[in-house]
Structure 1
Amino acid sequence: RLLRSFLSVARTGSLTRAAQAVHVTQPALSQQMRELAGLMGVPLLDRVGRGVELTPAGQELFLSLEPLLGDLELALSAISERSLEIRGTLRIGAIGTYARALVVPSVSRLLASHSQLRVQVEELTAAQIDSALQDNRIDVGLAFSDLSRADISQCQLFEETLSLISRSEHSTTSGNVRLEDVASQPLALLNRTFTMRRQIDTVFRAEHLLLDVRLELANVDSLLSVAQSSDLAVITSGLGVRDPGSLLIRPILHDALKRTAALRWRRGRSPSAAVNVWRNLLAEQIQQTPGIRPVAAP
């Protein structure tokens, strides 16, 4: 403190300006200079008119101190910046569609700004994500909103509507489609181990409509490949479509075929700096992605 105050006096040649620079009163600064001179055992300043000049001893001290304190300030600044730098490993689990459409683009932006960070992304089912969170195999998951587990916390991010997807030339209509129209078409669907399939079955069963399911598959990529190469339509998230020009995406008109996505983590675990920064980038990615509606923060 005394040395910083002395440097300020030496640079400005004025107790008044130096006091303002170091944010103390002028009497307090004068007392500091007397204290420093007492510790050194020699006078450091001479009064000249309304200002001050360095004595030979003061000049010698100034020339010795200035580069040393400058280096110290640079070192402290560098340490402070490194303490804010995000490093380590961020482990993310996400259902396949969300991983490809949202997680990978946002993680790419994260890594571009934080060279010391490493990220692991796993494509998992919703149930596998919760299990991995509980076993501490991932730090955060992106899956469907589910408030049934007391050991998992979540933050809802966006809402989407499941869509009927088919080759463009096999339909003359666009826009929304009714349940009755869906039931009249031959379909390929995910198998019944998937939450999405169980959601679809529940809705159509409640409306007493029988689906014409010709093919069951185990991943969304295969489902969309069938839609592109056959006469079968599929029901899935429009987020999975990588080439929208070749497929017709028609949201299905039914509230129960909407689903809400949430960021999920183990209850009681504080999010890391990496999670917080990635979460902001993910929110920006969601805002830029057509076909989904961001959920307002509570």
Structure 2
Amino acid sequence: MHKTPTSSETNVHPHVSYNVTIKHLRAFLSLAQHRSFTRAAIALHASQPSLTMIIQQLEDIVGCSLFDRTTRNVLLTPEGEDFLPVAERLIVDFDLALENIRVTASARKGRVGIAVVHSVATRIIPRVLGGLLSEYPGLHVQLRDGNSADVRRRVRQNEVDFGFGSKDEEDTDLDFRPLFRDQMGLLARNDHPLIKSKKALKWADLNGYDFVGLTSDTATGPIIRQISHLPQSVIAPRFEVSTNTTLWALLESGIGITTAPALSIENSRNQTLRFRALNDPTAWRHVYVISRRGRTLTPMAMEIMRRVRAEVAAIASKHQLIEAGTP
């Protein structure tokens, strides 16, 4: 007996210009569940003609009928029965993936990772975070302190959202926006002769004193090496360290002197160490907001940046050795 083809079979096209979408799958599952175009359309908040068109498109794509239409019911064909668990699994996986993204994005909005050099970590960040925590009790901040090379590396590798540190050279992966600059000076114990001296200090005055230098991966090391006619004791320091923790421990013990940027001692509670500006020549450290090019920062990250800039501006307005940068 010759079988009269169904309407969907006569409209199956071997070549179609569209692909299966989530809308197709949701329409298929709703119709399979409700077995009625009217009830399925209501559940999908769609019109019945729209649902009919979507199902027709899906059948065109797969090349066969997925439903048998009768006057009373809409039933799955054998092909539709085979496709049902596949569609269910795809929708479950898709919805789960969306939920995971929402949860991750929601958590990230309140979680900020920052890489930061020692002076900014100790002199600026505590003041900024104090106000933020009271306003945003759900805020989580991860601070990764280190030298400027550490900051750039962490930002480049996406270990943090952004960082505060110095610029070594142009980097195609990183964006540098000026934050501030501060003058280099002498840092030593308060009983050191150079600290007690009443005259203005020059770099040449450091000659003959044991010097504690910082390694080349810090911001201070390269700055000093660019100064001409430095005393030999500074060019070839007796001690060389890579962290400010070790540096300050040596100085507090009376083991040598060093040079440091002005912010490093700003508002410090340390009563043992003192800072004095050095001139002839005047040398500056430049600190930047460092971010990875192409990365979108969260509103909370941007808010922390804004408050850090405001705090820097407040400090610079009272300190002639610190100048706020232009964003």
Look up the SS of the partner of 1:270 in the other structure: coil
One-letter amino acid of the structure 1 residue matched with residue 158 of structure 2: N
Cα distance in 2, alignment partners of residues 175 and 108 from structure 1: 39
- Structure 2 residue 148 is matched with structure 1 residue 122: no
- Structure 2 residue 308 is matched with structure 1 residue 279: no
Cα distance in 2, alignment partners of residues 175 and 104 from structure 1: 34
- Structure 2 residue 250 is matched with structure 1 residue 226: yes
Cα distance in 1, alignment partners of residues 107 and 213 from structure 2: 45
1:297 match: 326
CA deviations on 1:108-138 (whole Å, 9 max, x unpaired) are: 3222211222110001322222222222111
Look up the SS of the partner of 1:160 in the other structure: strand
One-letter amino acid of the structure 1 residue matched with residue 214 of structure 2: L
Match for residue 260 of structure 1 among 252, 267, 286? 286
C-alpha contact 1:220 1:236 (8 A) present in aligned 2 = no
- Cα RMSD for the two superposed structures: 2.8
1:195 match: 219
2:206 match: 182
Match for residue 270 of structure 1 among 252, 273, 296? 296
- The alpha carbon displacement at 1:231 in A equals 5.4
Q: Percent identity?
A: 16
- The alpha carbon displacement at 1:90 in A equals 0.4
2:197 match: 173
Aligned ranges 1:215-254 → 2 under 5 Å: 215-230=239-254, 232-241=256-265, 242-243=268-269, 245-254=271-280
Cα distance in 2, alignment partners of residues 175 and 119 from structure 1: 44
Q: State the number of aligned residues.
A: 214
One-letter amino acid of the structure 2 residue matched with residue 252 of structure 1: L
Q: Flag as ranges the 4+ runs of structure 1 deviating above 4 A.
A: none
Cα distance in 1, alignment partners of residues 198 and 310 from structure 2: 28
Cα distance in 2, alignment partners of residues 124 and 188 from structure 1: 18
2:9 match: none
Cα distance in 2, alignment partners of residues 219 and 236 from structure 1: 12
Cα distance in 1, alignment partners of residues 113 and 275 from structure 2: 32
Question: 5+ residue gaps in structure 1?
Answer: 1-83
C-alpha contact 1:86 1:274 (8 A) present in aligned 2 = no
Cα distance in 1, alignment partners of residues 324 and 143 from structure 2: 24
Cα distance in 2, alignment partners of residues 112 and 254 from structure 1: 45
- Structure 2 residue 193 is matched with structure 1 residue 164: no
One-letter amino acid of the structure 1 residue matched with residue 256 of structure 2: L
C-alpha contact 1:126 1:144 (8 A) present in aligned 2 = yes
1:134 match: 156
Cα distance in 2, alignment partners of residues 87 and 138 from structure 1: 14
One-letter amino acid of the structure 2 residue matched with residue 297 of structure 1: T
Normalising by structure 1, we get a TM-score of: 0.63
C-alpha contact 1:158 1:293 (8 A) present in aligned 2 = yes
Normalising by structure 2, we get a TM-score of: 0.58
- The alpha carbon displacement at 1:249 in A equals 0.8
C-alpha contact 1:85 1:114 (8 A) present in aligned 2 = no
- The alpha carbon displacement at 1:139 in A equals 0.4
